[in-house]
Amino acid sequence: MQKQLIECVPNFSEGVNMDIIRQITDAIAAVEGVKLLDVDPGKATNRTVVTFVGEPEAVIEGAFQGIKKAGELIDMRTHTGEHPRMGATDVCPLIPIANTTMEETVAFAKKLSKRVGEELGIPVYNYEAAASSAQRRNLADIRAGEYEGLAAKMAKPEWKPDFGPDTFNAKSGATVIGARDFLIAYNVNLNTTSVRRANSVAFDMREKGRKKVDEKGKALKDANGNDIWEPGLLKSVKAIGWFIEEYGIAQVSINLTNIRETSMHKAFDTAVERAHARGMRVTGSELVGLVPLQAMLEAGRYFLEKQQRSVGVSEQELVRTAIHSLGLNELSSFDPNKKIIEYVMREVNSKLLVNKTLVGFADETASESPAPGGGSIAAYAGALGVALGTMVANLSSHKKGWDARWKEFSDYAAQGQLLKDKLIHLVDEDTNAFNKIMDAFGLPKANDAEKAARSEAIRNATIYAIQVPYQTMQVAYQSLPLLKAMAEIGNPNSVSDAGVGAMCISAAVRGAHLNVKINAQDHLEDSDVKTILAEAARMEQDTLAQEQAILAIVNSKIKA
């Protein structure tokens, strides 16, 4: 069963004293099963955003320990800062990341809230998906009046805390705990020091918009005497303007609460347009906390498409394009390995073939170890073949005089990148499949039960070792139309590359087929294996025909 993962992003009202911040994060990280992803202190806001992830029970234990330590060390009676706040742990959202529903995450948020209220004596309000009423969904509504107005607010029946005491905790304030979708905290930098002008851009952008006023600036009211609001341009966006003394600039501080509705790059470009309309310039932007990889990849594709450039480039190039286009390096260095969730969580395995140098790969193949073998080499040959086709597509997309066709070739390149990545994955998966067989043969066989279990394990591992090279055949075979198209319509100066790519694909399909057959030889009566063998033979024959057709096109265009 796959692990349930949730993320927690508590905001603590301390951004200056690094010793206090360290004690809080140490308390969180000490919980087994918690992975601390990011600690982002802000001096001007006097606030630190912490991000950690893990299985639900570990995460809510880590959150409790962090809230407890913050309550011990932070005194809200002396706290000041630019950011709105109402408690030592101001807000503590839980976010479903993997194999966890929002409903389950709400239950975990309420479990944490109950414990914080009962054991720590801190009033707790629930917000977003965990809110007890519509009035409490919005964090800004709960936090209105901030710490200074909290005692009076709690005295009102409609603002009785959801958990914990209903009396004011002067030292710790109150904490808001909830469950929400992934939120990107994102600041856009302006070439002004004016908070009022930054707010004007924020009000243009944010979903809530601004109050309507008459020509004298007086707020307009509806028939019931309520303020009339003029909605902003972007859905699921909260924004305000502020001045950051540390940087000497004003920013539009943005919360993107649903990046499916409003992406980071859409928010950035809207800020650029609205700032320009008001006589200002956006000079860059800043991410607070972490960002999902997908958001960066989408931004990279968006900005490449605006330039009419191919989006069929590597993941690394898409991320680089996003960083520079959004100006994420303006205020401080942006390290994707520390700011992108998936990169922070990944562990680089030096034993993987794809992480070796070309020389290291060749040396490992040439060693006395039976793996990597022909299956891994076939997959890598396929990856190189489709990479050549992708290269021709990218060169064609950028060819002088072919500007009107950039999208056509960009689509080919994007398709090629997907196929290349699948084949790269299969390089190590073929070795893994071989190792599974070796592990199965190593199982004990001292009695009939062990012998039966061993035989079943060997069979299952062998079937998997048939399926992996068969998948290599399928993916490599799927790349042949790309190579044929590049030979026919691609940049004529690179037609030979399309031909070499076709030969690599042919080697991949034929080589993987050999591995399918040798692994299948003891299971020839298995109906599923028979089906695979028949289809594999058909693919090889068609691959040979397509290779010859592509080479004929290539040779017809080479005058030698």
CATH number (domain holding residue 138) = 3.30.990.10
> Which tens digit of pLDDT belongs to each residue from 414-425?
999 999 999 999
Cα(133)–Cα(128) distance, rounded to whole angstroms?
10
> Which tens digit of pLDDT belongs to each residue from 238-258?
999 999 988 999 999 999 988
- Nearest Cα residue to 141 out of 158, 166, 122, 157: 158
Strand partners, 210: 230
CATH number (domain holding residue 204) = 3.30.70.670
451 and 423 belong to one structural domain = yes
Q: Give the pLDDT band (50/70/90) at residue 24.
A: very high
Q: pLDDT exceeding 90 applies to what percent of the chain?
A: 75
Is residue 1 pLDDT above 70, yes or no?
no
Complete edge-to-edge strand list for the sheet that includes strand 237-244: 237-244, 249-256, 184-190, 282-288
Cα(43)–Cα(354) distance, rounded to whole angstroms?
42
324 and 463 belong to one structural domain = no
Is residue 98 pLDDT above 80, yes or no?
no
Is omega for the bond preceding 372 within 30 degrees of 0, making it cis?
A: yes
State the catalytic residues.
Answer: 83, 430
211 and 277 belong to one structural domain = yes
150 and 190 belong to one structural domain = no
259 versus 122: which is more confidently predicted?
Answer: 122
In this predicted structure, what is the pLDDT of residue 348? 63
In this predicted structure, what is the pLDDT of residue 493? 94
121 and 81 belong to one structural domain = yes
Q: Which two tokens stand for residue 314?
A: 């590597």
340 and 290 belong to one structural domain = yes
161 and 197 belong to one structural domain = no
The domain tally of the chain equals: 3
Domain finish residue from 345, 376, 410:
345
> Which tens digit of pLDDT belongs to each residue from 354-406?
888 899 989 888 998 887 889 999 999 999 999 999 999 999 999 999 999 99
455 and 308 belong to one structural domain = no
Q: By residue range, what is the domain housing residue 341?
A: 184-345
Residues 370, 431 contacting (CB under 8 angstroms)? no
327 and 361 belong to one structural domain = no
Q: Where are the alpha helices (DSSP H) in 406-522?
A: 406-441, 448-478, 480-489, 495-520
Cα(350)–Cα(423) distance, rounded to whole angstroms?
19
- 3-class secondary structure, 416: helix
Q: Give the pLDDT band (50/70/90) at residue 523.
A: confident
281 and 363 belong to one structural domain = no
Collect contacts of 498-502 with beta carbons under 8 A, ≥24 apart: 498/388, 498/389, 498/392, 498/550, 498/554, 499/550, 499/551, 499/554, 499/555, 500/385, 500/388, 501/384, 501/385, 501/386, 501/387, 501/388, 501/389, 501/392, 502/385, 502/546, 502/547, 502/550, 502/551, 502/554
Q: Which helix (H) or strand (E) holds 122?
A: none
In this predicted structure, what is the pLDDT of residue 350? 67
Of the listed ranges 226-230, 347-351, 535-539, the least confidently predicted one is 347-351
Rg (CA), the chain: 29
Domain finish residue from 179, 196, 227:
179
